[in-house]
Structure 1
Amino acid sequence: MTVETGDDVRRRVADWWGTSVSRIEPGVIELRGHPIQELLGTTSLTDGIWLMLHGTLPTPRQAELLDAALVGSLDHGPHAPSIAVARMSATCGVGLNNAIANGVNVMGDVHGGAGQQCLELYTEIRDLAAAGTGHAEATRVVVQQWQARSKYLPGFGHRFHPRDPRRDPLLGLVERAVADSVVAGDFLAAGLAVEAAIAPVPMNIDGATAVIYGELGFPAPLARGLFVIARSVGILAHAWEEMQGGRRIKGPIPPDIRPTYRPA
C-alpha cells in the first residue's frame, strides 16, 4: 500500500478541479492564459465569450458573426415563456438573480433548445454529404429521418412571424464571410438546403444562429448555451422593468379575467 505524503494529498486536491479555463491566485487572474489586466479595455464581451469557449481570441470577422448571433437572440417580448416567468417572478419579492434564474430554467428542448437541435441536424447533413452521399441526397435523407420523429423541424417556421426578420441579415453576414474565406460555408449550405427542401417554410432565428455557430466551430450543445447567455440579457431587462412598476404578485393574466373552468 502506497502512503501519501502531504505533497501528494495537496496535489491530488488541487487536481480535483483542475482547469484550463482560468488561473486564479493571489494577485493573479488569467482567462485562458490571458492576464485580465491585458483584456480590460481591449476586449469586448463577445471576444471574451469566444475566448472562454474556444481558448483563443477571435478575429474581427469571427467576432462580428458571433456578436450578430447573440444580438439576434436577446429578446422576443413578454409572450416568450422565459420572459413572462421572469417578469412574474420579479413581482414576487425575489431578487434579480432569482428572476433571471427562473426565466432561464424554463428554456428547455421546446423553448430554447431548437438552436442546438438545428445544429445537430445541419451536422448530420454535412457529415453524410462528406461521406460521399451527395449533398441533395444527404439533405433528403436526414430531413426525412427528423420529420419521422417530430412534425416540427427545429430552426424552421415561426409561431409568430411569417418570415423571421432576423434571418436575412444574419445569413447575409455569413454569405459575405464565406465569400471572404472567413468560414467554410458547409453549415450555410446545409441550412439553405433544408429550407429549400421544406419550402415554403422559412428558416427562423434558431436556424440562422445554428448556421453561424456551426460555421464558427461551436459544438451543438454550445448553441443552446449561447442562446441562454443572450436571452439572459433580455430577461434581465424585462425583470428590471417589471420591478420598477411596483406591482405585486402579477399573475399570467389580469385579475379581472378568470380562467375557463372545465368540469372534470
Structure 2
Amino acid sequence: MTVTPRQATVDDVADWWANGICRMEPGVVELRGIPVQELIGHRGLVSTIWLMVRGSSPTTAEAALLEAAMVASVDHGPQAPSIAIARMTATCGVGMNNAIASGVNALGDSHGGAGQQCVELLSDIVARESAGAALDAATTEVVAEYRARDPYLPGFGHRFHPVDPRRDPLLGLVDEAVSAGTVEGRHVAAARAVETELNRGRRKPVPMNIDGATAVIYAELGFPPELARGLFVLSRSVGILAHAWEETNSGRRNEGPMPTSILPTYR
C-alpha cells in the first residue's frame, strides 16, 4: 500500500522554529513579550541577558550581582588559549567574526568549563544538605567522590595566583546579597565548606578561584550549570573581542604561537 505524504501547510512551516523568545513581524520586534523599543534605553545588557535566557526580569540587586560575575571574567591575558587563538587568527586576515569565533571555540571542559562543573559540585552538596545531611558531612562526601575521579576540583586553586584577586570582591558582594535577602546563601556556604575541606592539614592553601566565585553567583541566582558556562562564554567574548581588535590593528601578519626565533623541539 502506497502512503501519500501529507503536504506541509503554512502552519507547519511557521511552527518549524516556534519559540517563546522573540516575536518578529513587520514593524514588530518583541523579546519575551516586551517590545524592544521599551527595552532600548531602559534595560541594561546584563538584565536583557537574564530576560532572554530565563524569560523573567531580574531585580536590580540580582542584575548587579550577575553583572559583577560577568565583569570579573572578561579577560585573563594572552596566556589563555582562547585569547591567544583569537590573536593568532586575527593576524591571518580572516576578519573579526572568524577571530572571535576561533577564540570562543577553544572554550571547552578544560578551558572554560570549570564554572559549570563547580555549579554542579556545589549543587550536589546543597542537595544532600536538603536531604538531611549536615553541611560538613555532605561536603566531605562530595569532595571525596569528586577527587576519586579527578584530583583537580573545579573552582579551586590557580596556577598563577596564590589567591585569585577576583575572589574576595565577588564573595563580598555575595555576602552583601545574602544579608539583603537577594540570595539564600546556601551555595556560598557550600563553597566555603569545600575550601575548608580542601585546606585541612595543608600548609599551602587552595583557595577558591574565579570559576568558583562566579559559580557561587550563578548558582545563588538560580542559573543551571549549563547556563553558567554559557554566561562565562559571553563574558570572555568581550576579552576575545578586545584582543582580536588590538591584534588586527597591530599590522602583524601570520603570527604563530611563539616567536620565529624559537623553533619547536623535534622528537
Pairwise TM-score range, normalised by the shorter structure: over 0.9
Residue type at the aligned position of 1:250 = E
For the residue of structure 2 that corresponds to 1:212, the secondary structure is helix
Matches within 5 A, 1:104-123: 104-123=104-123
Matches within 5 A, 1:1-264: 9-199=9-199, 200-262=205-267
Query: CA offsets per residue over residues 96-136 of structure 1, 9 Å max, x none?
Result: 01000000111110000000000000010000110011111
Structure 1 residues not aligned, in runs of 5+: none
Percent identity reads 62
CA distance in 2, matches of 1:90, 1:233: 15
CA distance in 1, matches of 2:129, 2:147: 19
> How many residues align structurally?
260
CA distance in 2, matches of 1:167, 1:46: 20
The answer for the alignment partner of 2:202 in structure 1 is none
1:4, distance to aligned residue in structure 2 (A): 6.0
CA distance in 1, matches of 2:4, 2:55: 37
What is the CA RMSD across the aligned residues, in angstroms? 1.4
1:16, distance to aligned residue in structure 2 (A): 1.7
Query: CA offsets per residue over residues 185-204 of structure 1, 9 Å max, x none?
Result: 11111111111110220000
1:5, distance to aligned residue in structure 2 (A): 8.0
CA distance in 2, matches of 1:203, 1:5: 58
Residue type at the aligned position of 2:11 = R
After superposition, the Cα gap between the structure-2 partners of 1:3 and 1:89, relative to the gap in structure 1 and judged at 3 Å, is closer
Residue type at the aligned position of 2:240 = I
Residue type at the aligned position of 2:162 = P
For the residue of structure 2 that corresponds to 1:245, the secondary structure is coil
For the residue of structure 2 that corresponds to 1:30, the secondary structure is strand
1:238, distance to aligned residue in structure 2 (A): 0.1
For the residue of structure 2 that corresponds to 1:24, the secondary structure is strand
Query: CA offsets per residue over residues 215-259 of structure 1, 9 Å max, x none?
Result: 111000001000000000100000000011111000011101111
For the residue of structure 2 that corresponds to 1:109, the secondary structure is coil
Structure 2 residues not aligned, in runs of 5+: 200-204
CA distance in 2, matches of 1:106, 1:2: 47
Residue type at the aligned position of 1:214 = A
CA distance in 2, matches of 1:147, 1:3: 55
TM-score, normalised to structure 1, is: 0.96
1:57, distance to aligned residue in structure 2 (A): 1.6
1:261, distance to aligned residue in structure 2 (A): 2.2
For the residue of structure 2 that corresponds to 1:94, the secondary structure is coil
Residue type at the aligned position of 1:164 = D
CA distance in 2, matches of 1:60, 1:69: 15
For the residue of structure 1 that corresponds to 2:249, the secondary structure is helix
Runs of 4+ aligned residues of structure 1 deviating over 4 Å after TM superposition are 1-6
CA distance in 2, matches of 1:14, 1:217: 32
